[in-house]
Structures are given as structure tokens and as C-alpha cells.
Amino acid sequence: MDMGLTGKRAVVCASSKGLGLGCARALAAEGVDLVMNARGQDALDAAADTIRAEFGVDVTVVAADITTEEGQQAVLKAAGAPDILVTNAGGPPPGMWSDWDRDDFIKALDSNMLTPIALMKAVLPGMMERGWGRVVNITSQSVKAPIPALGLSNAARTGLTGYVAGTARQVAGKGVTINNLLPGIHATDRAVQLDTGVTKAQGITMQEAREQRYATIPAGRYGSAEEFGAACAFLCSVHAGFIVGQNLLLDGGSTNSTI
Ligand code: NAP
């Protein structure tokens, strides 16, 4: 299927690794020029070099913390007038509901709610004026099914989801769609980090920790960044213009709900 994206320009935040990289690669495969971002320069350069060589698209890199005002400005300056925005950043740390104070919440809100909102506010007027745009926010399965140890994430991402629900309906008439992708567990560094925690807590091997988690997923495995990226590319495609304000779970069936 031709996604109709050749020659479009996308900003993909937090994209040197994992799910952000999966989105960047899938868009590049459709002929989309990219602005890629992450804090670490080396991994970002390596990812961009591979994408340029593999897909022949133009890639600009901005090494910056996207959760800071300066980072956002640097990325937006490099982006110019993007057609596509994919928001992403690292997730907040786990803990107990009673552990977190105001500063912890402000940090989580900055990363996983206020940063994507600031980026959307910056690019939406131009997209609406040009009559076409796509925004995809990487959130989490925890928006639909809270993960108790990730209360900071549950709170911040649900706030973003509420903002998107209203905003998506205000911009849709101008040819701009906003949707969220909700990852369940995917085989990225984040999964290695989570499973390492389990090996330490339970005194089991990495393989045992993985198999224990696979058993909770009807698909019996973790998702891949490639699958995730393909879903992102579809939501950005010309075929997805009637998909507005949706929350698409990519979780191998692990969220047990009818709708
Ligand atoms: P990952 O493999 O650890 O990759 C994170 C990427 O984001 C890296 O490129 C990292 O590069 C970049 N990054 C992190 N913080 C950043 C910041 N402040 N500014 C700019 N770049 C930043 O993580 P992932 O698995 O792709 O997860 C992506 C998001 O999905 C996270 O919010 C995560 O919580 C959420 N999620 C993931 C899963 C999963 O199973 N993988 C499930 C549910 C939700 P630098 O470190 O160099 O900045």
C-alpha cells in the first residue's frame, strides 16, 4: 500500500532507539525526511546514518533533552514546517503511590504531558494553515489499564490523553489528525530494564523473567519496534485521515477488555 507520504517532513522525538526509532525508520521507508532527536549524540548519529544509507531520505539530528524548553526550541527550529510530529520521551521511574512528591509529579508532567502539548501547540497552527498534518503521541498501555508501580506515568499520560481527546476534534476540520499509540511491552531497552528488575527481585534468570512475562500476553511474546513503527506510519498516512483522537493499543492482547 502506498502511504502517500513521499517527500513529507517529520519530527520524531526521542528516536535514537526503541519505539521512536521504529517510527522514524517506518516513516523513512515511506520516503519521509526526518528530524530525529535524543539526548545522546552518538546513538543518534548512528541511527541517522543507518537511515540515510538505507532509505536515502534527508535526516537532521538534534541532540537535546526534549523535555526542556531549549530542547523543544532546538527541535522546532530544525523542523521548520513539519507535516508530521511524533512525540516521545523516556517514561517516569517506578515507585509507590506514597513515595511521590510535588517535584516528582511536575517532572513526570513535564516529560509525558506538557512536552507533547507544547510541541503540538507549536506545529498545529502551521499544519492547519497548510490543510494537512499528522500527530502521533507515544503514550502507554497504562492509560487504559493502570500499572500500579507506574503511577507517575499513569497520571501524566492520562492527562495528555484528555488534552488530545478535545484538541483532536478542534483541528480535524483542517485536515490534521492527532492520535495516540499505546505500547504494551515491546522488546526495547525499556523491557530489558524492567526484566532486569525482575531477575534481581526474584533471583531468576533473564530468560525466566521473560517467559514469566510472555505468559501474561495472549500473543505470547513482546512487540517489536518494527511493528510499532508500521502502525505509526499508517496513522500518518493519507489513508488515516478519518481516524481522529483515537488510542490504539499495541499490547499483544494483554489488556483484557472488550472495547
Ligand atoms: P527506549 O528503548 O529506552 O528508548 C528511549 C529513546 O528515547 C532513546 O532514543 C533515548 O535516547 C530517548 N530519550 C529518552 N528520554 C529523552 C529525552 N528526555 N529527550 C530526548 N530523547 C530522550 O524506550 P522505548 O521502549 O522506546 O519507550 C519509549 C516510550 O514508550 C517511553 O516513554 C516508555 O516509557 C514508553 N513505553 C514503552 C514500553 C515498552 O515496552 N518498550 C511500554 C509502554 C510504554 P537518549 O537516552 O540518548 O536521550
- Quick one: average pLDDT of 52-79? 98
Domain membership flag for residue 33: yes
* Contact 38 CB / ligand 1 (< 6 Å): yes
Confidence band of 151 (pLDDT split at 50, 70, 90): very high
Contact 14, 89 (CB under 8 A): yes
- In a domain, residue 192? The reply is no
**Nearest ligand 1 atom to alpha carbon 223:** 40
Answer yes or no: are the C-beta atoms of 91 and 66 closer than 8 Å: no
pLDDT band at 248 (very low <50, low <70, confident <90, very high): very high
Number of domains in the chain: 1
Distance between Cα 224 and ligand 1 center (Å):
14
Range of the domain at 149: 9-184+223-249
DSSP characters over 69-130: HHHHHHHHHHHSS-SEEEE--PPPPP--TTT--HHHHHHHHIIIIIHHHHHHHHHHHHHHHH
pLDDT tens track for 2-42? 999 999 999 999 999 999 999 999 999 999 999 999 999 99
Q: What is the pTM of this model?
A: 0.98
- Give the model's pLDDT for residue 61: 98
Whether residue 43 lies inside any domain: the answer is yes
Is the residue at 25 inside a domain? Answer: yes
Q: Tell the residue nearest (CA) to atom 11 of ligand 1.
A: 38
Flag whether 154 is in a domain: yes
Q: Which residues contact 179 (CB under 8 A, 6 or more apart)?
A: 135, 136, 137, 164, 168, 235, 240, 243, 244, 245, 246, 247, 248
pLDDT at 116: 98
The CATH number for 240's domain is 3.40.50.720
Cβ of 89 less than 6 Å from ligand 1: yes
Q: Give the separation between CA 206 and CA 83, rounded to whole angstroms.
A: 41
pLDDT higher than 90, residue 69: yes
Residue 166 has pLDDT above 90, yes or no: yes
Residue for grid cell 514546517: 81
Rounded mean pLDDT, 50-60: 98
Question: Is 197's pLDDT higher than 90?
Answer: no
Domain assignment present for residue 49? The answer is yes
* Confidence check: pLDDT of 190 > 90: no
User: Has residue 162 been placed in a domain?
Assistant: yes
* Predicted pLDDT of residue 194: 85
Residue to mutate, 87, 147, 188, ligand 1, most ligand atoms under 8 Å from C-beta: 188
Q: Is residue 116 part of a domain?
A: yes
User: Is residue 54 pLDDT above 90, yes or no?
Assistant: yes
